[in-house]
Amino acid sequence: MVVTPELTSELQNENLIGQRLLAVDAISESDLRKALEVQESVGGLLGLILIRVGALSEEMLLQTLSEQSGQRIVGQDVHLPDFHDLFMEMDESDIVFDWYLDHSLIHWCDPESSDDKLICCCKHQTSFISDAIRYFFGEREVEYCLIASQELDTILEFIRKEKSVDELISGSGSSQALRELAEEAPVVELVNNILAQAINTDSSDVHIEPDEDGFAVRLRTDGILYTRFRQSQERFPAVASRIKLISGLDIAERRLPQDGRITTRISGSDMDIRVSTVPGVHGESIVMRLLPKERDVVTLPALGLEPDHLKLVEQAIGEANGMFLVTGPTGSGKSTTLSGALAAANDGRKKIITVEDPVEFVVPGVTQIQAHAEIGYTFSKALRAILRQDPDVIMVGEIRDQETADIAIQSALTGHMVLSTVHTNDALSVFTRLVDMGVEPFLVAAPMKLVQAQRLVRKLCEHCAEPMDVGQNIIDELQALNAELTPNFKRSVGCERCLNVGYRGRTGIYEVFPISLAMRELVVNRGTASEIKRLAAEEGHRNMYQDGLIKASRGTTSLEEVIRVTSGVET
């Protein structure tokens, strides 16, 4: 419990506070008598004694004192700023941090005040502290507020660590000094906290970006970058040195890009972290890609495929031979889709082999091979070796060049089911992409069973999403896709559960096109991309926007999110 000057006398007057707590049924007469006996024996403040003996919660005491004195409660009536912002504001005062820590005191400027009012919280208030605050801040208005002891202790511990980092980094600059700095406990904890926050928010990447004012720590969560906090420029060498040290990079090298890797366990998760540094004007930009070592394979039904699309995919991977290609940009969930397809194909009667870079999902019962282009073990070379292993199903992580494309297609034509990915914006551009690589059109068309394009859209937070109305044109478009759908469009709002973003998690939107005889003939005759799309529309296939519209109509995602994700895709 934190005591302010105005409340000290009230807490010492056991009749006043005791009777008040009795009046609101916060304690019993027996509790009060026991607490008074303890007070008479060892001294202390009655409210704090009641908390220590378990007769009263701190929340109830705070509320009672607030009602009695009119003082506001931090976190309830008064906004508590970001810890780092609070630290920086206190750092600008003439008071040294040791004094704050010795007297368990914090303060910040009230953002709702027009006259620069100071909010102040402390433990064990004395007249000396009040006089000191008046001395350092002059005539400035000061409001003393109530704050929970645990909250104050957490803030003071944060300030203590920030102060330690400041002291460590002052004067460091040589390679040896940076190495020693990187091993110091406050620096280790700071970097670990950054990584832990990324893992706890299911972020895929950590971006550490220096600028002229300091550096930002940004996390890519559900595909979007969010600035989580900022630090002063003076702290950057400590953070950069720690990351370089644990990822095997040269600490002293700041002029050239470097790539490294960290294998660690954070927040109960075994992680592979790929580290990239690139020199910039204000310092090195550092990006860390987080790859959990153990990632559960997502089943095909859990990918968000509509029932008709799911049936097409299951039919394709059940074929004895042919090709199933998944396309989309980096980060669109292609590897997740293929791992789900492999799990579905693995019925115990097939030899399934993959070549990947990297192996992102471990699929039980599947032989998975890591490609190493740096030593010449490329996709194409691995594919040739795989064909001598009597496979039924082959998965190639990505078709990047003509050599890999030729081998994959020949494999599909000679009794193997081949799954792979290609980088194109939409499903039907796969054909022109392979032809552009140098593959003959008739070879592209012959083995193809199914092509699928996909994007990931953020799912609305189920705790705060609100219903919304849409225009009649959207309703008409939806009814044209599926007359049985009942519109239930929602918008994002934001709450504590979703960190005020309005979204939690992601799902897929898809284009899934089985290759018909007419489509095959059009590809062989070198049909243009627009002609291929026109035929697909005539055959009644949905594009990604239309698939997203169906998901938005169910309230799974928002219409705004579907438009954002599909805005660069031709429909």
Give me the CATH topology for the region 170-292: Beta-Lactamase (3.30.450)
- What's this model's pTM, rounded to 2 decimal places? 0.67
- For the chain, the domains span 5-69, 83-165, 170-292, 300-457+506-542
Q: Cα separation of 438 and 405, whole Å?
A: 9
Contacts of 376 (CB under 8 A, 6+ apart): none
pLDDT confidence tier of residue 166, bands split at 50, 70 and 90: low
Among residues 260, 268, 194, 262, the alpha carbon closest in space to that of 231 is found at 194
Contacts of 264 (CB under 8 A, 6+ apart): 195, 246, 270, 271, 273
Contacts of 119 (CB under 8 A, 6+ apart): 74, 78, 107, 108, 109, 110, 143, 145
Confidence (pLDDT) at 281: 87
Confidence (pLDDT) at 157: 86
Confidence (pLDDT) at 570: 61
User: Does the structure show a pLDDT above 60 at 2?
Assistant: no
User: Does the structure show a pLDDT above 90 at 527?
Assistant: no
5-14, 231-240, 439-448, 450-459: which range is least confident on average? 5-14
Tokens coding 527: 């049909």
Percent of the chain with pLDDT over 70: 92
Instruction: Output phi, psi for 143, to 5 deg.
Output: -115, 120
User: Does the structure show a pLDDT above 80 at 192?
Assistant: yes
Q: Are 460 and 552 in contact (CB under 8 A)?
A: no
Q: Are 480 and 487 in contact (CB under 8 A)?
A: no
**DSSP 8-class letter at 304:** T
Q: Looking at the domain that runs over 83-165, which CATH code has it been given?
A: 3.30.300
Angle, alpha carbons 27-31-32 (nearest 5°): 85
Q: Cα separation of 531 and 520, whole Å?
A: 12
Summary mean pLDDT of the chain: 86
128-137, 340-349, 515-524: which range is least confident on average? 128-137
Contacts of 58 (CB under 8 A, 6+ apart): 1, 51, 148, 149, 150
pLDDT confidence tier of residue 134, bands split at 50, 70 and 90: confident
Q: Is 345 left (phi over 0), alpha (psi -120 to 50) or beta?
A: alpha
State the average pLDDT over residues 202-229: 93
User: Does the structure show a pLDDT above 70 at 206?
Assistant: yes
- CA-CA distances (angstroms) from residue 291 to 202, 266, 274, 277, 365? 11, 12, 8, 17, 22
Q: Cα separation of 207 and 274, whole Å?
A: 12
Look up residue 29 and give its amino acid.
Answer: E
């070879």: which residue's tokens? 443
User: Does the structure show a pLDDT above 50 at 223?
Assistant: yes
Q: Cα separation of 317 and 298, whole Å?
A: 16
9-13, 39-43, 492-496: which range is least confident on average? 9-13
**pLDDT tens profile 411-461:** 999 999 999 999 988 888 899 899 999 999 999 999 999 999 999 999 999
Q: Cα separation of 46 and 11, whole Å?
A: 6
Determine how β-strand 118-122 pairs with β-strand 105-109: antiparallel
Q: Are 149 and 140 in contact (CB under 8 A)?
A: no
Confidence (pLDDT) at 9: 45
Contacts of 292 (CB under 8 A, 6+ apart): 269, 270, 271, 272
Please report, in angstroms and rounded to a whole number, the separation of the first and last CA atoms in the chain.
62
Confidence (pLDDT) at 12: 45
Among residues 239, 260, 236, 238, the alpha carbon closest in space to that of 249 is found at 260
pLDDT confidence tier of residue 150, bands split at 50, 70 and 90: confident
User: Does the structure show a pLDDT above 80 at 274?
Assistant: yes
State the average pLDDT over residues 73-90: 85
Contacts of 243 (CB under 8 A, 6+ apart): 191, 208, 249, 275, 286, 288
Contacts of 410 (CB under 8 A, 6+ apart): none
Confidence (pLDDT) at 555: 95
Determine how β-strand 417-422 pairs with β-strand 322-327: parallel
Q: Is 501 left (phi over 0), alpha (psi -120 to 50) or beta?
A: alpha
Among residues 101, 21, 31, the alpha carbon closest in space to that of 62 is found at 21
Determine how β-strand 258-266 pairs with β-strand 466-467: unpaired
Confidence (pLDDT) at 184: 67
State the average pLDDT over residues 386-398: 94
**DSSP letter for each residue of 230-295:** EE-GGGHHHHHHHHHHHTT--TT--SS-EEEEEEEEETTEEEEEEEEEEEETTEEEEEEEEEESS-
Give me the CATH topology for the region 300-457+506-542: Rossmann fold (3.40.50)
Q: Cα separation of 316 and 322, whole Å?
A: 8
Angle, alpha carbons 247-252-258 (nearest 5°): 45
**pLDDT tens profile 357-374:** 888 888 889 999 998 888
